[in-house]
């Protein structure tokens, strides 16, 4: 079974981290049986870290981990930091595919979503 | 006619600002005839500023301006900075409604969009 790990930047403002956790719960509710688990991790400033989040997925028996960056632009975090953390964990567990999904800002449906928000 | 103004944070990394401009073009393409214009503005680090972006909408004849925050969490920028800039411009043009839409991260459809990205 696959595990989905939503990865956000993390904030000193705890309410922002809580927003991510609530979104993660929503994702889990919408995912049906597509994933064995849906959880979140943070690049910095909040817990769990990305390595710890991936580790938790693996420890609960994930046969594949999908890492989904909750970021709007392809900056250094998306292009370097997150891939580096994923690659390090992949090296530790070569038998379990850890796949990095596209970041949110690159989603094709984002224009339609924004138009809906603006209504 | 209404004008839609997508407001992003702005980045020192010009490619991130360019991503916002490209998304704005996509929004325009998807919007059909819902808006007279679709443009973008930046809170900081890029041009145009939010006041300048709203001003441009008004100068091209907007009868209503919808300001849409391209932000993921309800931090200080979403809760204080953007509303303050909108309110100042609203005071300057009391006859033209300038409406602040919810920020992207609060969109109901975001969970479904993320699940699509993860596929």
| Beta-bridge partner residues of B112 | none
How many domains is chain A partitioned into structurally?
1
Is A9 an annotated catalytic residue? Answer: yes
| pTM of the model as a whole | 0.94
Per-residue model confidence as pLDDT tens digits over B87-117: 999 999 999 999 999 999 999 999 999 999 9
Residue of A nearest to B24 (CA): A111
Provide the residue range defining the domain that includes A114: 2-118
B64 chain-A contacts, CB cut-off 8 A: none
Angle in degrees, CA A44, A47, A52, rounded to 5 = 95
DSSP annotation string for A74-99: -SHIIIIIHHHHHHHHHHH-TTS-EE
Per-residue model confidence as pLDDT tens digits over B54-73: 999 999 999 999 999 999 99
Among A5, A7, A8, A9, which one carries the catalytic annotation?
A9
CA distances in angstroms from A49 to A79, A108, B10, B76, listed in the order given: 17, 28, 26, 24
A26 class by beta-carbon count within 10 Å (0-12 exposed, 13-18 middle, 19+ buried): middle
> Is the ipTM, as predicted for this complex, more than 0.90?
yes
At B99, which CATH number? 3.40.50.1400
> How many Å apart are CA B32 and CA A99, to the nearest integer?
36
């Amino acid at each position: 079974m696959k595990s989905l790990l939503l990865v956000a930047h993390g904030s000193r403002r705890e309410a922002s981290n809580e927003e991510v956790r609530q979104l993660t719960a929503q994702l889990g509710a919408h995912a049906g049986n597509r994933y064995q688990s849906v959880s979140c991790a943070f690049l910095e400033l909040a817990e769990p870290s990305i390595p710890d989040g991936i580790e938790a997925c693996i420890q609960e028996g994930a046969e594949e981990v999908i890492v989904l960056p909750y970021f709007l632009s392809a900056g250094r975090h998306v292009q370097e930091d997150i891939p580096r953390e994923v690659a390090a964990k992949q090296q530790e567990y070569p038998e379990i595919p850890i796949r990095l999904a596209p970041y949110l800002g690159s989603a094709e449906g984002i224009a339609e979503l924004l138009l809906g928000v603006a209504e």
